[in-house]
Structure 1
Amino acid sequence: MDEKNSLNAEPVLDEFGKEIIITDPSAAPQLARLSIDVETAAINASPEAQKFHQDNIVDWDGPQDPQNPQNWTSTRKWLIIILISAITFNQAMSSTIFAPGVRQALRDLHSSDQASAPLLISIFVVGLAVGPLFLSPLSELYGRTPLMHASNFAFLLASIVCAVSINVPMLLIFRLIMGASTISLGGGYVADMMEPQHRGKALNVWTVGPVLAPVIGPIAGGYISLKASWRWTFGLVGIIGAFSLAACFVFLRETYPPRLLELKATRLRRETGNPLLRSKYDTGQTPTQLFRYSIMRPTKMLVRSPIVGIVSLFLAIAYSYMYLLFTTFTDVYEKTYGFNVGEAGLSYLGLGSGFLIGQYTQNLFMKWHMKKQLTKNGKLQPEDQLPPLIVGGFMLSIGLFWYGWSVEYKAHWIVPVIGTSICGIGITYFFLVVQTYLVDAYTLYAASALAANTVVRCVFGVTVPLAGPALYKRLGLGWGNTLLGFLALIVAPASLWLLKYGEQIRNNPRFMPKL
């Protein structure tokens, strides 16, 4: 080896910090990995090696380290959660705000293909199913904030293009992009910042967006389409999206612990000149390996973890029923009760009031229940979140029976509205319990767990409502909703089973995919 190459050789330290000169630069990655392996092996060899290993691990500076998001002030935490909730609300509202203006849009775009109408609505949910598979795991590789900024910008751009679309294919493509860029990192932010006993309340605030917004959307969209134009439904969400994007750049901070500790380790390596310093979350994998593992994580969790699959199916039932109700409201209240488009939109307030009641009552119960479990067991388990799910199964069933038969016998319009509010309470319990359970069970990878859950519920949300017209045509609203109600009852005994065996299944090595 000539002198020039020797001068350019990369220094690598052995397990005791002594420099090793690499004379072949191409061997640097292998020798660097070898030095880590030697260091790891030396941990078991001597106290000195153990101390050296610990000295090179970058962690928080004690339990009260202000850099740890869980030690941030309550004001800072809640500001971020409320901001994420507002963003989620706007993006979730965009899934249904366009629904009342679809026919008007087809006329304006000179399309006679009426089959495009349901596709223009449901294609958003298709994007919503696909986007989190990439955005959520990437947030566990590059951090929450870069993905939040990128998705907010993509959503804003897609909203603008939808508002100025000149044909149906253009509108379809950018509706799909709107759905795909809808962020689902709220649960991840909550897991990063909140202790287990406070996560329920924080998730309660965040889920106002995905739960209540699809109800507000048709009401706002109906009056906007009636008084202005369908284009302004996209204009409204675009304007709110622009303010959200600006607010994120001003107020949002990175919260993902592995990313924060990696940035800290990088800064310390630069300041100290010690190349062996690394985050406690560093697995020694290459960026390519990390990227592959991150992208595959939601799919692996869904396929390999029964817990993720089971609770995702629970929420898929409630989510698909919610969209099935959405598809019937306009026809039911216009044809049976003679409502106009705007008045029919107001019928969604039954569900909306149920959502609010559900959030309030669930929060009250969980405050009492979590305090009781903490006193009884000295610690909290993810399964402690499950009891409201049992009640939710019964509430959803009762609400469906009530709504179906009151319309079947043409009772006063307030009676089916009350029935849908009972459905709303049950649906809210499903949403809050499943999402909080997944966040508690898979804290570090909460975003990926919720992404897997989102895929399942969105697939059901797209497909099940398509069967609604045929179901109600054959059985009527009474027996049709009775059938759906009996299916929802299955969740109650399944939840009891999960309450008893959930921890055992979660901790079984066979059901713990390498994440």
Structure 2
Amino acid sequence: MPEPLFRHPSRSEIIELAVAEGHDADILSNAGSIRRIPSHSPSQHPEKDSSFIIEKDTEKATEEESISSDEEVEDVAEHGPDIVFWDGPDDPQNPMNWASAKKWGTVALVSAITFLTPLASSMFAPGVPEVMKTFNSTDEMLEGFMVSVYVLGFAIGPMIIAPLSEMYGRLPLYHSCNSFFVLFCVAAALSTNMSMFIAFRFFMGCFGGAPLVLGGGTIADLITREQRGTAMVVWMMGPTIGPCVGPIIGGFLTEAKGWRWNFWFVAIVAGAFLVLSIILMNETSAPVILERKAKRLRASTGNPKLRSKLASELSAKDLFKFSIVRPVKMLTRSYICLAMSIYVAITYAYLYVLFTTFTAVFKTQYGWHGGIVGLSFLGLGLGSLIGQTVFTHYGNRTATKHIARGDFKPEHRLYIMAAGGPFLPVGLFWYGWSVQAQTHFMVPIVGTGVIGFGLLMTFMPASTYLVDVYTIHAASAMAANTVLRSLAAALLPLSSQKMYTAMGYGWGNSLLGFVGLLLVPIPFLFIKYGERIRKGNVVKL
């Protein structure tokens, strides 16, 4: 039986759990927080007030603080008769003590929802020409934007969902966001003009981002550290593989039933998941469960002093401030966050350039029609899957080796990024010129596999690097990264059709490849100068 939090958790444990839950480590989690953030004014002697914030420069953390410090941190609340916590190590209310079937059933359901919503981002891509005919549009910009606008919702929705989940728990956000997601899927299927369709796609993305925000925290609530890695890998397959699998399904579905059935299909499956989640899922956030327990006890005992050991002293205003303002500060003031975010944003945008053009490319160059067009996305999906596997194995092995030696630096995360970065431009050159020459269709599909591999080998190491650099503010760095990449993925594909018309598929993709080549030195520069930059470029939050 896992041991609930009766001992003071270490700094690294709190940071790890906070990252999984998608918030900074100075915001309360199941393990507490790095420091208290009082809603009242601090004392006149902050050095003597254990709950007073002393803001720390984000990037001045030592190596020990940033990855493996086991120093004990201030407990989230004092022990006393008015403090409400778990009723012993076997308390059945503690999600860590739930039956295995209930825990893993919840993880499976959350992972399925997390797979469905990214899948919906690109599922109808093969049906884009049919949508254009339905709405009598020939605007090439709208042709790309109707696919990528979904990702714009991914940038905006989570910024609001994250602080709301800290205030009200995970379950209300799952249910409400899933309900709205189904509603806007139905609305998109029933759209009667292009404006309606694009607006509903945007709101699908806003609410579809909920499992991406909440899923990691749910897994961290339920699964012990020893078993959490497996669950997180399964959960992460949604955002990495889902967008590549979607068009394969969508291609055949569009041919058989028309483009609207892509949305009916998603609405039906999402609706089934919603019903299952209402029936089977329970709240897993320890602060919320304990707060409800404290409220019941205050009512039954008449003691107004009772409060949860994990009670948050953050106001709603502070939660939204940290969720929105901190990422903007990091993106505008930190060289590391800005450079990594630009790299990831450009490479992620390339993914949606391909999503919005594959159908036209394989129709015009290879004469593919109907459901078979969806198979053009297969190489990208397989390449992404291989990239995730390679990163998980070799990236973690490199970090583990240096941690065991005691000389780990965040820059060690970038070795695999430096090795994998060149695959992206190579894949773009391969794909572009093989399509231009109309070689056998397997040649460009293999090229897209190389692109998918390169994407994952840049995206995943950059994310883990930001976590290790920013430690307690890692979630804000990740949010900054997410916003910039989502904006790029929504806007850059708008000009892709015009680019290919003007330059051809060979030189058009070569242009993207040359930009990718310019980005390749970034991890090498940070491997050599990253530590110096971290100490010289300080961001105060």
Amino acid at match of 2:340: V
State the match for 2:115 in structure 1.
Answer: 89
Whether the aligned pair in 1 keeps the contact of 2:191 and 2:197 (CA below 8 Å) is: yes
* Structure 2 counterpart SS, 1:411: coil
Indicate the residue corresponding to 1:493 in structure 2: 521
Partner of 1:398: 426
Cα RMSD between the aligned structures? Answer: 4.0
Correspondence for 2:21: none
Q: Which residue does 1:14 correspond to in 2?
A: none
Shift of 1:416: 1.2
* Separation of aligned partners in 2, 1:280 and 1:345: 52
- Per mean C-alpha deviation after superposition, the further-off stretch among 466-475 and 357-366 is 466-475
Does residue 407 in structure 1 map to residue 407 in structure 2?
no
| 2:378 pairs with 1:352 | no
Alignment match of 1:105 (pick from 131, 134, 137): 131
Tell me the distance in 2 between the aligned counterparts of 1:273 and 1:403: 71
For the 8 Å contact 1:58–1:278, the answer to whether it is kept is yes
Counterpart of 1:320? Answer: 349
1:18 aligns to what? none
CA contact (8 A) 1:394 1:426 kept: yes
Contact 1:81 1:189 in 2 (8 A): yes
- Cα deviation for residue 469 of structure 1 reads 3.2
Residue 289 (structure 1) shift: 4.2
- Residues 1:207 and 2:233 are matched in the alignment: no
Please say if residues 334 and 537 of structure 2, whose CA atoms lie closer than 8 Å, have aligned partners that are also in contact. Answer: no
Instruction: Map Cα deviations across residues 127-149 of structure 1 (whole Å, 9 max, x no partner).
Output: 22221221123223333322222
Superposed CA deviations along residues 388-427 of structure 1, whole A, max 9, x for unmatched, are: 2222312212211221222233322211111111111111
2:414 equivalent to 1:386:
yes
- The reply on whether 1:482 has 2:510 as its aligned counterpart is yes
Q: 1:353 to 1:292 in 2, by over 3 A?
A: closer
Letter in 2 for 1:404: G
2:271 paired residue number:
242
CA distance 1:221–1:301, change in 2 (3 Å): same
Question: Partner amino acid for 1:375?
Answer: A
Q: Which amino acid aligns with 1:172?
A: I
Change (3 A) 1:382 1:235: farther
One-letter code aligned to 2:175 = H
CA apart distance, 1:323: 1.3
Tell me the distance in 1 between the aligned counterparts of 2:436 and 2:223: 47
Closer/same/farther in 2, CA of residues 167 and 65 from structure 1, 3 Å limit: same
CA distance in 1, matches of 2:447, 2:269: 32
- In the superposition, relative to structure 1, how do residues 115 and 156 fare at CA in structure 2: closer, same or farther (>3 Å)? same
Assess, with a 3 A threshold, how the Cα gap between structure 1 residues 458 and 339 changes in structure 2: closer, same or farther: same
Distance (whole Å) between structure 2 residues aligned to residue 81 and residue 141 of structure 1: 22
Instruction: Decide whether the 8 Å contact of 2:152 with 2:490 is kept in 1.
Output: yes
Separation in structure 1 between the aligned mates of residue 95 and residue 404 of structure 2, nearest angstrom: 26
Return the alpha-carbon distance in structure 2 between the equivalents of residues 81 and 218 of structure 1. Answer: 25
Question: Gaps spanning 5+ residues in structure 2: where?
Answer: 1-37, 51-74
Shift of the 400–59 alpha-carbon distance from structure 1 to 2, 3 Å rule, reads farther
Flag the structure with more relative contact order, 1 or 2, with Cα contacts below 8 A and sequence separation at least 6.
2
Q: Closer, same or farther in 2 for the Cα pair 1:495/1:57, shift >3 Å?
A: farther
Number of residue pairs matched by the alignment: 475
The Cα shift of 1:362 comes to: 2.1
Question: How does 1:270-285 map onto structure 2 within 5 Å?
Answer: 275-276=304-305, 278=307, 284-285=313-314
Distance in 1 separating the partners of 2:221 and 2:462: 18
Partners of 2:251 and 2:111 in 1: how far apart?
24
Deviation at 1:455, TM superposition (A): 1.6
Query: Residues 469 and 113 of structure 1: is their aligned pair in 2 closer, same or farther, counting only changes over 3 Å?
Result: closer
Cα displacement (A) at 1:235 = 0.6
Whether the 8 Å contact between 2:252 and 2:372 is mirrored in structure 1 is no
> Which residue matches 2:488?
460
Residues 423 and 138 of structure 1, relative CA distance in 2, 3 Å threshold:
same
Deviation at 1:217, TM superposition (A): 2.1
Percent identical residues: 43
Q: 1:226 aligns with which of 255, 280, 286?
A: 255
For residue 511 of structure 1, give the secondary structure of its aligned residue in structure 2.
coil
Pair 1:422-2:450 in alignment: yes
Greater displacement, 113-122 / 337-346: 113-122
Structure 1 residue 258: Cα displacement: 4.6
SS at match of 1:122: helix
Deviations 1:78-134 (A, max 9, x none): 544433332122111222222333343344456676764334323322222221221
Residue 144 of structure 2 is aligned with which of 108, 111, 118? 118
**The residue matched to 1:347 in structure 2 has which SS?**
helix
TM-score (norm 1): 0.77
Whether the 8 Å CA contact 1:323–1:465 is kept in 2: the answer is yes
What are the equivalent positions in structure 2 for 1:43-442 lying under 5 Å apart?
53-55=78-80, 78-109=104-135, 116-182=142-208, 183=210, 184-185=212-213, 186-189=215-218, 201-256=230-285, 258-260=287-289, 262-263=291-292, 266=295, 275-276=304-305, 278=307, 284-377=313-406, 385-438=413-466
Unaligned runs of at least 5 residues, structure 1: 1-31, 45-49
CA distance in 2, matches of 1:211, 1:273: 51
Distance 1:211 1:53, change over 3 A: closer
Asked whether the equivalents of residues 400 and 482 of structure 1 are also in contact (C-alpha less than 8 Å), the reply is yes
State the distance in 1 between where 2:487 and 2:88 align. 44
Q: Secondary structure at the match of 2:421?
A: helix
CA deviation map 1:159-178 (0-9, x unaligned): 11222233333323222211
Instruction: Give the direction of change, closer, same or farther, for the CA distance of 1:126–1:236 in structure 2 (3 Å limit).
Output: same
Rounded to whole Å, the distance in 2 between the matches of 1:128 and 1:248 is 22
Structure 1 distance, partners of 2:443, 2:113, is 34
Maintained 8 Å contact 2:433/2:505: yes
Which whole-Å CA distance do the structure 2 matches of 1:36 and 1:263 have between them? 28
**1:397–1:101 distance in 2 versus 1, CA, 3 Å:** closer
CA distance in 2, matches of 1:506, 1:58: 41
